Amino acid sequence: MKRQTLGRYVCAVKALVPPATRLLLLRAAGVVDLDLWEHVMQVPVLRCGLETHDGPHWTLLYEAADSTCCWLRWEDGSPTGRVAALPECPASLDASTPCELFRMHPGGHTWEVTDPDDELWNAVMPVFCEMYGAGHRGPVKRAEDVDADLD
């Protein structure tokens, strides 16, 4: 469980840049990868990873085999953006918790901010568990198990 600072949130604005555009932007940035389309399609929804802020949003778009990270920068509501290869943020909370953003990023490091979706999930999970009889601490059931229970 990551340590997080209360009251500080991830921006989490979603990018409206479609997969085909992301592919073209990566190609234009010089990324050569035969499986690029698969990589792009693995992440259907891109969200800004910075702490809540004004101005352009940033998300990790692609990490090459040599761990070069290509970041997508976009403006609110724009269907396109720009891709830049940026070095990693050198900060880390401890040996197993590096910051997942880029060097010189604005706002807090990843362990200093809360993902609003995690908070929402933690709020609704007990309700789901109750509905499916798993108890608050029980593992979340897979869809097949739930279907079997309903038979």
Residues in touch with Zn ion (CB under 5 A): 11, 13, 48, 50, 57, 89, 91, 99, 101, 109
Whole-angstrom distance, CA of residue 6 vs CA of residue 13: 19
Least separation in angstroms between CB 118 and Zn ion:
17
Least separation in angstroms between CB 119 and Zn ion:
17
Whole-angstrom distance, CA of residue 60 vs CA of residue 80: 15
The two counts, helices (H) then strands (E), for the chain are 4, 5
Which residues are registered as beta bridge partners of 73? 58, 82
Of 76 and 145, nearer to Zn ion (C-beta) is 76
Of 78 and 125, nearer to Zn ion (C-beta) is 78
Of 48 and 70, nearer to Zn ion (C-beta) is 48
Least separation in angstroms between CB 134 and Zn ion:
35
Strands 92-94 and 97-98: antiparallel
Whole-angstrom distance, CA of residue 14 vs CA of residue 66: 27
Of 11 and 86, nearer to Zn ion (C-beta) is 11
